[in-house]
Amino acid sequence: MTETNDLLKKVIESVIGGDEAAAEALARQALEQKMDPLQVINEGYVVGIKQVGDLFECGELFLPELIQAAEAVKKATELLNSAITGGAESSKGKVLIATVEGDIHDIGKAIVVSLLVANGFNVLDLGRDVPTLDIIAKAEEFKADVIGTSALLTTTMVKQKELEETLVKEGLKSKYKTIVGGAPVTVRWAEKIGADAYAENAGEGVNKIIKLISGS
């Protein structure tokens, strides 16, 4: 038990420090020691990235460090998720994430992506300033289960509405579950435009996506 706790502590430290090499090495070490991959993910990498999010929110970490931490989590958890049931089949579902057209803010999305990967989802991150038609085309190509969009400006929120309207127009609305987020976005906005869910933060986003895919 002491060895497990020590390794989990080192995992958390590697994530907070944005040490990609250490995070990946610790994942391999955990597998070599026959530790439960899910335990290592949930009690190590997820805890670490949540702490990074808290530090980022209060101004103790900055965007470059946030991105480094997210990359550290992504690569390490991909290794662990692959070991759970042998690779792609372990995926809980496919989630496409994008910041809408006209919005170049990418802050926080890295944490969302990392948490989703850490929780066993196959994630396609399209980045920022992504046109509606590109989001839909990539969702079709990726065979996404959920489309998640972020808008950090009140002027770009309309693109989330445009996505919902275009999905309806193209007869694709029933094919995908949609979730929206971002600083100016609210649950009322999500309901108004016809999105399936709204998430205030990364942790809530993961929980909502799990529910969307499971149908609960």
Question: Looking at the structure, do residues 59 and 157 belong to the same domain, yes or no?
Answer: no
Question: Looking at the structure, do residues 81 and 96 belong to the same domain, yes or no?
Answer: no
Question: Looking at the structure, do residues 122 and 41 belong to the same domain, yes or no?
Answer: no
Looking at residue 193, what is its pLDDT?
98
Question: Looking at the structure, do residues 96 and 15 belong to the same domain, yes or no?
Answer: no
Question: Looking at the structure, do residues 66 and 126 belong to the same domain, yes or no?
Answer: no
Question: Looking at the structure, do residues 76 and 96 belong to the same domain, yes or no?
Answer: no
Looking at residue 90, what is its pLDDT?
53
Query: Residue 107, Cα to own-chain centre: how many angstroms?
Result: 12
Q: Look at the chain and report how many structural domains it folds into.
A: 2
Looking at residue 74, what is its pLDDT?
85
> What tens-digit pLDDT sequence spans the chain (216 residues)?
688 899 999 999 999 999 999 999 999 999 999 999 889 998 999 899 889 988 988 999 888 898 899 889 988 988 888 887 555 445 789 999 999 999 987 767 778 888 888 888 999 999 999 999 999 999 999 999 999 999 988 999 999 999 999 999 999 999 999 999 998 999 999 999 999 999 998 889 989 999 999 886
Instruction: Using the 3D structure, point to which of 43, 63, 86 is the last residue of a domain.
Output: 86
CATH number at residue 27: 1.10.1240.10
Question: Looking at the structure, do residues 98 and 205 belong to the same domain, yes or no?
Answer: yes
Instruction: Using the 3D structure, point to which of 86, 120, 138 is the last residue of a domain.
Output: 86
Question: Looking at the structure, do residues 80 and 112 belong to the same domain, yes or no?
Answer: no
Instruction: Using the 3D structure, point to which of 57, 86, 115 is the last residue of a domain.
Output: 86
Looking at residue 88, what is its pLDDT?
47
Q: Pull the structure tokens for residue 167.
A: 């999905």
Question: Looking at the structure, do residues 142 and 81 belong to the same domain, yes or no?
Answer: no
Structural domain span for residue 162: 91-214
CATH number at residue 140: 3.40.50.280
Question: Looking at the structure, do residues 73 and 164 belong to the same domain, yes or no?
Answer: no
Question: Looking at the structure, do residues 82 and 98 belong to the same domain, yes or no?
Answer: no
Question: Looking at the structure, do residues 103 and 148 belong to the same domain, yes or no?
Answer: yes
Report pTM. Answer: 0.78
Looking at residue 150, what is its pLDDT?
94
